Amino acid sequence: MVYLKLVLTMVLWGGTFVAGRQLAGQVGPAAAAFLRFAIATACLLALIRLKEGALPRLDRRGVLGVLLLGATGVFAYNVLFFTGLATVGAGRAAVIIAGNPILIALGAALFFGEGLTRRKAAGISLSVAGAVTVIGRGDPLSLLSSGVTPGDAAILGCVASWSAYSLLGKAVMGRISPLAAVTWSSLAGTLMLVPAALAEGLTPGAYPLGAWAGLAYLGVCGTVLGFTWFYEGIRAVGASRAGVFINLVPVSAVILAYVLLGEPVDMSLLAGGLLVLTGVWLTNTARRPAAA
């Protein structure tokens, strides 16, 4: 069930690129991030009350942990995400995000002793190559022809902030449940986003119905379900093994574009998808090496 939830999470996150791209021209980056997590926080508070009775109290170390989670995975990631998608296509952004597993695996090896075997390294490399093949339509070098734009740099910032969020989450979940960690981080990040959203000119009444539909998807599916299932995966199989599933995001994004937008599916998608799945299998069947 953990692996199934991780796969479903990546499908949901593939859809966030489509929703985020559509929102880019209608809602400002900070306002979109704030509204996404305001919706998510309300749902998470109701969910944790139903499942765990109440949001657990935090000691000083726990408070510091959730503040860092809110600053990295909610505030920084989402402002950069919506900023980048204002100028970067959903497919190109998804490829840049495919760098996440590399940073997560390296960080997990450095800070948590999740050593890197040759098999795991090969799996990570294959899954990254597959993701690049999918979005590059069989010509990965074409993605580099336009160079690094400010939008690309913003999406690269997403990689750094999400990697930090994933690794910090592993430490915080030693003290509280995945659902509690996500709820606390969502609440903290939402409060951090308030000043930026107000400064940007938050005007909820002016947004069309389609924008609210996108925000609801991002809040409920992309955040409540996605974040909770991803953290469950990190706790169950480790940060590096869970992180490599992120390479399924660009594959699912292309498939969703085909289903929802009628974009064609060619052999590069099939070949890239096979590489990603092979990489995920290699990484998650590798023996865990002894900690250094």
Distance CA(265)–CA(186), nearest Å, equals 36
Find the domain containing 175 and state its range: 2-285
Residue 291 has what pLDDT?
44
| CA–CA separation, 82 and 254 (whole Å) | 19
Q: What is the pLDDT of residue 147?
A: 60
Residue 127 in any domain: the answer is: yes
| Dist CA 191 CA 38 (whole Å) | 9
In a domain, 290, yes or no: no
Contact 8, 229 (CB under 8 A): yes
pLDDT for the residue numbered 70? 92
Please state the three-class secondary structure of the chain as a single string: CHHHHHHHHHHHHHHHHHHHHHHCCCCCHHHHHHHHHHHHHHHHHHHHHHHHCCCCCCCHHHHHHHHHHHHHHHHHHHHHHHHHHCCCCHHHHHHHHCCHHHHHHHHHHHHHCCCCCHHHHHHHHHHHHHHHHHHCCCCHHHHHCCCCCHHHHHHHHHHHHHHHHHHHHHHHCCCCCHHHHHHHHHHHHHHHHHHHHHHHCCCHHHCCHHHHHHHHHHHHHHHHHHHHHHHHHHHHHCHHHHHHHHHHHHHHHHHHHHHHHCCCCCHHHHHHHHHHHHHHHHHHHCCCCCCC
pLDDT, residue 53, reads 86
- Encoding tokens for residue 254? 């292309």
The answer for 283, left when phi > 0, alpha when psi is -120 to 50, beta otherwise, is alpha
Is residue 265, in this structure, part of any structural domain at all? yes
Residue 292 in any domain: the answer is no
- For 153, what's the count of Cα atoms within 13 Å in the CB-facing half-sphere? 4
pLDDT at residue 290, as a whole number? 47
Residue 291 in any domain: the answer is no
Pick left, alpha or beta for residue 89 (phi over 0 → left; psi -120 to 50 → alpha; otherwise beta): beta
The pLDDT of residue 38 is 94
Do the domain assignments include residue 56? yes
At residue 261, the pLDDT reads 65
Does residue 143 form part of some domain?
Answer: yes
Give the model's pLDDT for residue 292.
Answer: 39
- pLDDT of 240 reads 72
Task: Please tell me the pTM assigned to this model.
Answer: 0.76
Q: Which residues of the chain have pLDDT under 50?
A: 290-292
pLDDT in tens, 175-224: 788 888 889 999 999 999 999 999 988 888 888 998 999 999 999 999 88
Does residue 85 lie within any of the structural domains?
yes
Domain count, the chain: 1
Q: Cβ neighbours of residue 38 under 8 Å, at least 6 residues apart?
A: 190, 219
Which pLDDT does position 268 carry in this prediction? 77
